[in-house]
Amino acid sequence: MFLGFLLAAALTRLPILHRAVLDWDESLYFLMAAQWRAGHLPYTTIWDNKPIGIYAIFAVFQSFIPGIAAIRIASMVCVGLLAAVVARITEKITQHRAAGLAAGVVLVAASLSNDGLSANTELFMACFTAAAVLAALHRAPGTLVGVLLGLAFMVKYVALFEAPVVGLLLLYERRHLAAPWRTAFGLAVGFVVPVALAGLVYAHAGLLGLWWEDSVLSNLRRAASPAAPGALLYALQTQALRWGPLYAGALALIACAARRQAFLAAWVLAGLAGACAARSFYDHYFLQMLPVLCVIAGYWLARLAGRPALRAVLLLVVLAPLAWAGRTALAQASGPDAPAEAAAALNEAGARSLYVFDTQPVIYALTGLTPPTRYVLPSELIGPTLPAVAGVDPAAEVARILNAQPEYILRRRTPSANENPALIDMLNADLAAHYTRWGQFPGIDAYVIKPGR
């Protein structure tokens, strides 16, 4: 089953196999993983506020797959595995194999939208969460389920919202097999193991304070940041267009939930709480809900097992918007690959140093050049929210970078409305005084330092 879903994931994602970047965050994870493989623990040379799980996953795939294809193949494997696990969960709950297979197909289709094409943390986190659910349904030992939940937590901390629901499911499933306190103790111990191992690695390196500041405290600051105006309305509209029937199925299940479906209802609500916790409502945040939404779709299909015509209609109603949304996402990812073009030109010119001001930081990876700052994601310096989260003085950091006189500077041709205007003025003044325009790529202007500088 896994191989079948893996093939489906690979075929649907083949057009973007070598795409340089699909989302800002994946470039950051790619760079962090590469630095780790070079001997630098996460957070030491590059700043980010994610737990270390996603960097570990990227580093594993980078170790045997060259270039950007590493994270694209990692995503394919993740989707194939998640679809297989969702199919097994659905089959276990419904006792209907065809419904399980349909749920897996729905997941592969749905994963193409809501930024699911990019190698975002939510899909990888969902793999561990769904595996924990499947293990709980099979009455696995509490320690195993706890470890799976702990691994999900170490990929993205919002797994914490779903963990109690999965833990209660395991306690219910094992109620006749062992004393509840033993199962609960195993869950707690297993959950703590991945977190404790990460802490021990940093403590051994004398960097426990750095890990705590960047990976924990910064997330508390991020959670306290104000929500973007209009973000909630945008999320409601886009989710209705892309995954509307999946959400409708979940609402219908909650409205008529019997005891047998109480777990699915609780899983939906926990996943929704996790997706909305940061109040940013980015598209990829809702990927966290994909496993339970697809299981519920399979549940309704199983309810129509004796009515093949209605079941076919329901499957069509579910798949049609998913296919449209996936096709749209693939089309949007098929335009000019500007970062790859810029990186190729820099490589041909033999560039020795580079500052990517407000375009894609994956260009550092494509050129093999060392970023001149820990804050490689542009929004960490020139955005409205992340400088405070990162605890950096953006004006001082940009001034330090420009004073170091990088040989090349890359910037967007049209700055984003969210960029700090004072830093834009600082860059413009430095470019006018010390640089000349060297090249243009789709949406990107490149500058080279004047001779003699």
DSSP string, 349-381: HT---EEESSS-THHHHHHTPPPSSS--STHHH
| Token couple for 84 | 């297989």
* pLDDT of 258: 64
The whole-model pTM stands at 0.93
For residue 408, pLDDT beyond 80: yes
Continuous segment of H or E residues that includes residue 408? strand 408-412
19, 76, 85, 236, 315 from 11: Cα distances, Å: 15, 9, 19, 30, 21
188, 216, 240, 249 from 244: Cα distances, Å: 36, 34, 4, 9
| Token couple for 168 | 């209660």
Per residue in 417-451, pLDDT tens? 888 999 999 999 999 999 999 999 999 999 999 98
Q: Report the alpha-carbon distance of residue 212 to residue 312 in Å, rounded.
A: 51
* pLDDT of 259: 63
Q: Is 104 helix (H, G, I), strand (E, B) or coil?
A: helix
Per residue in 72-122, pLDDT tens? 999 999 999 999 999 999 999 999 999 999 999 999 999 999 999 999 999
For residue 357, pLDDT beyond 90: yes
Q: Report the alpha-carbon distance of residue 444 to residue 259 in Å, rounded.
A: 56
Q: Are 450 and 421 in contact (CB under 8 A)?
A: no
Q: Report the alpha-carbon distance of residue 195 to residue 42 in Å, rounded.
A: 15
Confidence of residue 260 (pLDDT cuts 50, 70, 90): low
Average pLDDT over residues 260-283: 89
Per residue in 30-40, pLDDT tens? 999 999 999 99
For residue 229, pLDDT beyond 80: no
* pLDDT of 180: 87
* pLDDT of 233: 87
